[in-house]
Amino acid sequence: MVAAASGAVRRNVAACVAAAALFAGGCGGATPAADSAPAPAGTTPAVQTPTGGPSDSPSPSARSSGRSLAGAVVALDPGHNGGNGAHPEIINRQVDAGTLEKACDTTGAETNAGYAEAAFAFDVAKRLARRLRARGIRVVLTRKTNSGVGPCITRRAAIGNRANADAALSIHADGGPAGGRGFHVIEPASIPGYTAAIAPASHRLALRIRSAFRAGTGQPYATYIGSAGLDTRDDLGGLNLSTVPKIFVECGNIRNATDAARLSDPAFRERVAAALETGLVRFLRKHTE
């Protein structure tokens, strides 16, 4: 989940937004994971590093082929991390999110039964990674476990940038009002000097994911945020700092009883992974031509 905010207010009261992130519940409203901040005395938080490396960078010919996805690169960013809540001194650190300062990372939301958004996001990311790799797509993950801390939103963006990903997808489950349900896709606003270059491709990615997700999961568009399953944000560091096409998908409202039951079901999570695979493949077949 990522906390909602209005465009004009976001930039004018950046400090207030950042401070509120320290206490807000749910996706985007808890505590950050610093890539460079020292661990607290007597503890050694797990360091999250991306999978893959320079040796498996795709060749130009592989990435330019419209007939095969072998060699295409996708960055998967499962939101939050299971160890974030135990290290507020790390994840509450303020970082530059492009248009404002925000907490380095947050704990995320959870169902009334205690199923955490971080666990959901990581499970879906693993399922999706397996599917994409079976197609020959190189997958880079922003974290390899659900027991570590972070990484910080700045590093999450940097991992996709460094991999020169053809598409980057941040996976979440929103912590919205209990009476609202459904999924939505968050795309970056076009911000000169930040996202202007990637906004058009990110919009195309958002449309592919929205269409495939609705068809593949049966989830309705969110009833409480955005418009027809889409929302545009200029206050998310993971989007603002990206130099590759990137979106967030909030797969449902984890605070709603109906959505929570679905998100907690492994069979539904497999459907989510399959739907996201479909949307990514449709985007990649056009983007890598």
Residues recognised as catalytic: 250
Distances (CA, A) of 50 to 37, 133, 157: 18, 15, 11
For tokens 């593949």, name the residue: 216
DSSP per-residue letters across 81-141: -TTGGG-HHHHT-EEE-SSSEEES---B-B-TT--BHHHHHHHHHHHHHHHHHHTT-EEEE
| Residues 33, 35, 277: CA angle, nearest 5 degrees | 75
Cα Rg of the chain, angstroms: 17
Residue 151 preceded by cis peptide, ω within 30: yes
β pairing state of 138-141 and 246-253: unpaired
Separation of alpha carbons 20 and 231, rounded Å: 21
Q: Residues with Cβ < 8 Å from 273, sequence gap 6 or more?
A: 124, 127, 128, 131
Question: Running DSSP on this structure, what letter comes out for residue 56?
Answer: G
Question: Of 256, 280, 260, nearest to 268 (Cα)?
Answer: 260
Please choose, from the candidates 250, 176, 162, the residue with its C-alpha nearest in 3D space to the C-alpha of residue 206: 250
